[in-house]
């Protein structure tokens, strides 16, 4: 008997690296080529060269630096998403300026970002290898249509109104969890809500510093008061939105009829801190049926187990549907586990929340 073996060759995700630093190009090339799933097909030192190599090489994913000569990354991204939309992962520094520019890039259509260290790049960037590979793999599968169709600037500066209706007391809190694609999805959702809403708490997977910039941008955009939640127990107020800071878990509890938020320095959950599961677990334990929990676009499983507990406590739970999600990971797991009462497209979630809160 002759045994014939067949080697199945998996098609690798092709990547074009665009960065003016030769060191970064070399480090990223080593990291990406070190994965069995990825392959660097080219590198460019500036956007003009990148434009030609995109035409020649047709890469699956682009990694794009922000600060480059001849044309900055934001200008190039804006042109790219208008003429040839494709998955882009931004490379930005862990600085105030870097976080603001990154948020602008996400607004323009970048799928995700890699926050590179400001100093000791040669020593610290390789430590991020697993995260870099994962983000590029997820970006390759991202729903680019959702990125272009769910742009918050299509609804801002729309100011929703509920007329003379009165906010009901049945809902004491709205809890939102999100990851990849969630920065813009959350902004889209919040922009569709009136100022007069129950307190809203948000866990968005982001590093420290980036959440500060994100809360500030939301505060400038929305009528409601938006702030990054930092510090000890304090009451969560109606007409206020609280963004978990990027270095601590955010949880809630009740005291004297009030809902309080507090930070926790415990270990990461599902590899994240802040984690959606920590917030949802505390909601299920403390507030129960007076909550609406929303799980938006994102990779991984964070939030699914917590949402199951929230649902079991008698609260309403919503998962974003596949068609409107940039990455249908976290909501999908929640749906598969039976944790979602409702599965809604992004543009239907705000009307649902308004109806539940106002009747």
Which of the residues are catalytic?
Answer: 179, 205, 302
Q: Token pair of 230, please?
A: 């930092």
For residue 154, what are the contacts with CB-CB under 8 A and spacing of at least 6?
none
**Burial (0-12, 13-18, 19+ Cβ within 10 Å), 201:** buried
| d(C-alpha 307, C-alpha 215), whole Å | 24
Q: Which residues, in sequence order, are bridge partners of residue 318? A: 294, 342
DSSP type of residue 269: B
Per DSSP, the three-state class of 38 is strand
Q: Which two tokens stand for residue 340?
A: 């979602």
Q: Under 8 Å CB-to-CB from 269, ≥6 apart: which residues?
A: 249, 275, 277, 278, 302
Which 8-state DSSP code applies to residue 125? Answer: G
Other beta carbons less than 10 A from residue 344's beta carbon = 18
Integer angstrom CA distances of residue 97 from 24, 30, 124, 180, 297: 19, 27, 20, 21, 26
How is the beta sheet containing 13-18 ordered, strand by strand? 38-44, 13-18, 61-65, 88-93, 112-116
The residue whose two tokens read 């929640």 is 334
């Amino acid at each position: 008997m002759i045994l014939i073996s067949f080697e199945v060759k998996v098609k690798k995700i092709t990547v074009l690296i665009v960065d003016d630093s030769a060191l970064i190009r070399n480090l990223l090339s080593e990291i990406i080529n070190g994965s069995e799933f990825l392959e660097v097909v080219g590198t460019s030192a500036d956007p003009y060269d990148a434009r030609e190599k995109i035409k020649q090489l047709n890469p699956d994913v682009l990694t794009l630096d922000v600060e480059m000569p001849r044309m900055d990354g934001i200008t190039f991204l804006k042109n790219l998403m208008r003429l040839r939309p494709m998955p882009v992962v931004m490379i930005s520094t862990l600085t105030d300026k870097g976080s603001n520019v990154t948020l602008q890039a996400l607004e323009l259509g970048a799928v995700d970002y890699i926050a590179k260290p400001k100093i000791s790049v040669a020593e610290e960037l390789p430590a991020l290898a697993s995260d870099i590979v994962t983000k590029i793999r997820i970006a390759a599968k991202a729903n680019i249509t959702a990125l272009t169709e769910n742009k918050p600037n299509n609804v801002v500066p729309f100011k929703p109104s509920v007329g003379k209706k009165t906010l009901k007391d049945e809902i004491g809190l709205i809890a939102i969890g999100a990851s990849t694609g969630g920065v813009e999805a959350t902004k889209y959702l919040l922009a569709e809500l009136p100022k007069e809403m129950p307190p809203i708490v948000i866990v968005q997977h982001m590093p420290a510093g980036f959440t500060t910039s994100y809360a500030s941008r939301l505060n400038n955009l929305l009528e409601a008061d938006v702030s990054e939640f930092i510090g000890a127990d304090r009451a969560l107020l109606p007409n206020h939105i609280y963004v978990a800071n990027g270095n601590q878990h955010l949880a809630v509890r009740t005291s004297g009829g009030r809902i309080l938020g507090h930070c926790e320095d415990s270990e990461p959950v599902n590899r994240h801190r802040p984690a959606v599961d920590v917030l949802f677990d505390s909601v299920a334990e403390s507030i129960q049926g007076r909550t609406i929990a929303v799980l938006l676009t994102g990779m991984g499983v964070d939030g699914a187990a917590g949402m199951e507990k929230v649902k079991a406590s008698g609260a309403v739970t919503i998962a974003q549907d596949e068609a409107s999600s940039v990455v249908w990971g976290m909501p999908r797991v929640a749906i598969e586990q039976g944790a979602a009462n409702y599965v809604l497209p992004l543009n239907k979630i705000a009307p649902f929340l308004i109806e539940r809160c106002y009747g």
